[in-house]
């Protein structure tokens, strides 16, 4: 079954998955809901999924995340979960008084075919008089299609759909960055400010999933995209979907464009020099303000550092893996630094991934591409391609250890390093950080492998 040398890229030929490289759909939806002010995620299905997903998100973010569930019993699995759903929503509301409950479905409730939209309509009917009823937002997230990234975008779009109304044009910019780190969220907000623009960024979990120590008790973590702002979505001066490959039909900005005629820009997230250049150009043209000097200085320092560091990086064979948009951003930046990208792999099956990799290659590498892969596929590719460096999430650690390769951790999940939730990738500053880390990862590895014990290297 082992592939032989120099096999060209092909779809993995296994029926099963061994050491997966993606998570399930509701995980993304829960994280997206968590970035909306006053929202609690709720999984319609068994409690185990909620517990696992909480556990998993927490190991990356090191912050509490509450996810409720309708706690299916065998009976609900057989006869339908409406009763549990209604009780669950009621109980959750009384404990936390959330403003929003974001409902995502698990594979179980999807399999039995529970009609959640009709449950919601019924609840709305029954409680239309009570004021304290939270808004219920539903997104369908069966994991037997798609990955956490689909769940994330679908949930974001569902939130926007719920709040956006036709409204007069305002001065806001709607930003939909996708599943990114909390520091990247903060950096986008900083950029907007620097151009004197007003943004509505959704979802914004930079506080809810990376907040300060509490001075006093909060029933719910403060933060999230403000509800008062979200009603302005229909009239924003522009909407931006940051993505390489996500289909328009899943994107919130595209929804605003289609429904309200909002001007929409679709561009890659600002990872690396050229993507950051494009992003700042856009901000400059939207605001009519010249790119501020501080950015030019950052860029200058970055270029200077790349010049100084090229000897470490030039032609180093490297393998990248992780979530599609993130990996494509890295592809563009890392190839621009002159490393030789040997392998680009993503876990979720992503339409258009192969073309996007080619488009993002700056330089002359022609990497093997794995779409819809797991770590068994990645490992067998590593075996024939001999990269000297791995760049990806913590799940690559076992592989890195087995092959004695250094692993630069980036993306999601990072649970074997501290601070993974707040790594900066965006902008010149993010590129600078990535550059330093790339070089230092290589140096550290060389130093630890060296018999001599170099101190200047």
Partner 1 sequence: MSNETPSLEDLKEELIAAYPKKVAKKRAVQIVTNDITEDGSVPEIKANTRTAPGIITQRGCCYAGCKGVVLGPTRDIVNLVHGPIGCSFYAWLTRRNQTLPPTPESENFINYMFSTDMQDNEIIFGGEKKLAEAIREVYENFHPRAIGVFSTCPVGLIGDDVHTVSRQMSEELGINIFGFSCEGYKGVSQSAGHHIANNQLFKHVIGRGTEAPEGKFRVNLLGEYNIGGDAFVLEDIFERCGITLCSTFSGNSSIDQFERSHLADLNLVMCHRSINYIAEMIELKYGTPWFKVNFIGPDGSAKALRKIAEYFDDDELRANVERVIAEEMIAVTEARKRFTPRLQGKKAMLFVGGSRAHHYQDLFTQVGMETISAGYEFAHRDDYEGRDVLHSIKVDADSRNIEELTITADPEEYRPEYTDLKKAREEAGMEFSDYKGMMPEMKKGSLIIDDISEHETEILLNKVKPDIFCAGIKEKYGVQKFGIPCKQLHSYDYGGPYAGFSGAVNFFEDIDRMVNASVWKHLKAPWAKGA
Residues at the site binding ligand SF4, with contacts judged by CB under 6 A: 24, 26, 46, 48-49, 52, 106-108, 143
Q: How many residues bind partner 1 (CB under 8 A)?
A: 76
b/e 120-149 (16+ beta carbons within 10 angstroms → b): beebeeeeeeeeebbbbbbbbbbbeebbbb
Q: Does 56 bind partner 1 (CB under 8 A)?
A: yes
Residues 219-248 within binding reach of partner 1 (CB under 8 A): 219
Taking the least distance from each CB to ligand SF4, the nearer of 81 and 235 is: 81
Strands 340-345 and 368-370 turn out to be parallel
Q: Does 4 bind partner 1 (CB under 8 A)?
A: no
Q: Does 132 bind partner 1 (CB under 8 A)?
A: no
Taking the least distance from each CB to partner 1, the nearer of 43 and 202 is: 43
Report the residue number whose CB is nearest to ligand SF4: 48
Taking the least distance from each CB to ligand SF4, the nearer of 29 and 200 is: 29
Shortest distance (Å) from residue 75 CB to ligand SF4? 15
Site string for partner 1, 63-82 (x = CB under 8 A): xx-xxxxxxxxxxxxx----
Selected from 95, 165, 167, 285, the binder of partner 1 by CB under 8 A is 95
Taking the least distance from each CB to ligand SF4, the nearer of 41 and 387 is: 41
From the list partner 1, ligand SF4, none, partner contacted by residue 418 (C-beta under 5 to 8 A by kind): none
User: Which residues in 224-294 belong to E strands, given as ranges?
Assistant: 238-242, 264-267
Q: At 321, phi and psi to the nearest 5? A: -150, 155
Taking the least distance from each CB to partner 1, the nearer of 15 and 452 is: 15
Taking the least distance from each CB to partner 1, the nearer of 212 and 453 is: 212
Cβ(173)–Cβ(198) under 8 Å? yes
Quick one: 81 exposed, middle or buried, by C-beta within 10 A (0-12, 13-18, 19+)? buried
Taking the least distance from each CB to ligand SF4, the nearer of 29 and 435 is: 29
Helices in 288-396 by DSSP H: which ranges? 293-313, 324-336, 353-360, 375-385
Taking the least distance from each CB to partner 1, the nearer of 6 and 78 is: 78
Contact region for partner 1 (CB under 8 A) — 139-147, 161-169, 233-241, 429-437? Answer: 139-147
Shortest distance (Å) from residue 153 CB to partner 1? 17
Taking the least distance from each CB to ligand SF4, the nearer of 21 and 438 is: 21
Q: Does 16 bind partner 1 (CB under 8 A)?
A: yes
Q: Is the dihedral of CA 45, 47, 51, 52 positive or negative?
A: negative
Spell out the residues 6+ positions from residue 148 whose beta carbon is closer than 8 angstroms to its own. Answer: 22, 23, 24, 25, 27, 28, 31, 179, 323, 348
Q: Whole-angstrom Cα distance, residue 5 to residue 7?
A: 6
Shortest distance (Å) from residue 187 CB to partner 1? 23
Contact region for partner 1 (CB under 8 A) — 23-31, 235-243, 259-267, 274-282? Answer: 23-31
Q: Does 418 bind partner 1 (CB under 8 A)?
A: no
Shortest distance (Å) from residue 208 CB to partner 1? 12
Q: What is the widest separation between alpha-carbon atoms in the chain? A: 77
Helices 293-313/273-287 angle, 10° precision = 170
Contact region for partner 1 (CB under 8 A) — 44-52, 332-340, 427-435, 437-445? Answer: 44-52
Shortest distance (Å) from residue 372 CB to ligand SF4? 16
Q: Does 317 bind partner 1 (CB under 8 A)?
A: no
| Distances 207 to 130, 187, 210, 222 between C-alpha atoms, Å | 30, 13, 5, 7
H-run or E-run covering 27: helix 25-34
Selected from 8, 130, 132, 215, the binder of partner 1 by CB under 8 A is 215
* Structure tokens given for 340: 């030789």
Q: Whole-angstrom Cα distance, residue 73 to residue 380?
A: 42
What dihedral do alpha carbons 172, 173, 178, 180 form, nearest 10°?
-90
Please identify which residue in the block is written with the tokens 């290659």. 361
Q: Whole-angstrom Cα distance, residue 178 to residue 194?
A: 21
Q: Does 92 bind partner 1 (CB under 8 A)?
A: yes
From the list partner 1, ligand SF4, none, partner contacted by residue 68 (C-beta under 5 to 8 A by kind): partner 1
């Amino acid at each position: 079954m082992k592939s032989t040398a120099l096999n060209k890229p092909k779809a993995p030929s296994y029926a099963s998955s061994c050491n997966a490289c993606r998570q399930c759909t509701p995980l993304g939806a829960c994280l997206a809901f968590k970035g909306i002010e006053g929202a609690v995620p709720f999984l319609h299905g068994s409690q185990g999924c909620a517990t696992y997903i909480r556990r998993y998100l927490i190991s990356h973010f090191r912050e509490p995340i509450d996810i409720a569930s309708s706690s299916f019993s065998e009976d609900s699995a057989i006869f339908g979960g409406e009763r549990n759903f209604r009780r669950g929503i009621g109980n959750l509301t009384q404990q936390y008084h959330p403003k929003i409950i974001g409902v995502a479905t698990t594979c179980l409730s999807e399999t039995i075919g529970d009609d959640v939209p009709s449950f919601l309509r019924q609840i709305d009917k029954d409680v239309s008089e009570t004021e304290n009823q939270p808004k219920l937002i539903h997104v369908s997230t069966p994991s037997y299609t798609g990955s956490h990234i689909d769940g994330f975008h679908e949930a974001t779009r569902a939130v926007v759909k719920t709040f956006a109304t036709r409204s007069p044009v305002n001065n806001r910019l709607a930003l939909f960055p996708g599943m990114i780190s909390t520091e990247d969220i903060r950096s986008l907000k900083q950029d907007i400010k620097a151009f004197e623009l007003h943004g509505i960024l959704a979802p914004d979990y930079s506080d809810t999933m990376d907040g300060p120590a509490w001075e006093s008790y909060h029933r719910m973590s403060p933060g999230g995209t403000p509800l008062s702002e979200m009603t302005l979505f229909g009239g924003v001066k522009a909407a931006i979907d940051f993505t390489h490959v996500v289909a328009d039909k899943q994107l919130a900005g595209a929804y605003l464009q289609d429904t309200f005629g909002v001007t929409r820009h679709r561009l890659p997230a600002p990872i690396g020099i050229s993507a950051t250049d494009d992003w700042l150009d856009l901000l400059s043209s939207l605001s009519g303000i010249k790119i501020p000097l501080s950015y030019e200085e950052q860029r200058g320092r970055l270029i200077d550092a790349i010049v100084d560091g090229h000897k470490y990086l030039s032609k180093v064979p490297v393998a990248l893996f992780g979530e599609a948009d993130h990996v494509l951003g890295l592809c563009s930046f890392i190839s621009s630094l002159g490393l030789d990208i040997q392998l680009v792999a993503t876990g979720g099956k992503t339409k258009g991934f192969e073309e996007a990799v080619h488009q993002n290659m700056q330089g002359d590498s022609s990497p093997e591409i794995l779409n819809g892969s797991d770590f068994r596929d990645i490992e067998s590719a590593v075996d024939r391609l001999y990269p000297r460096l791995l760049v990806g999430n913590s799940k690559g650690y076992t592989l890195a250890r087995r092959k004695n390769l250094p692993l630069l951790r980036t993306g999601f999940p990072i649970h074997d390093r501290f601070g993974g939730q707040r790594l900066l990738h965006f902008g010149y500053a993010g590129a600078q950080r990535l550059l330093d880390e790339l070089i230092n990862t290589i140096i550290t590895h060389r130093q630890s492998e060296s018999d001599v014990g170099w101190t200047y290297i």
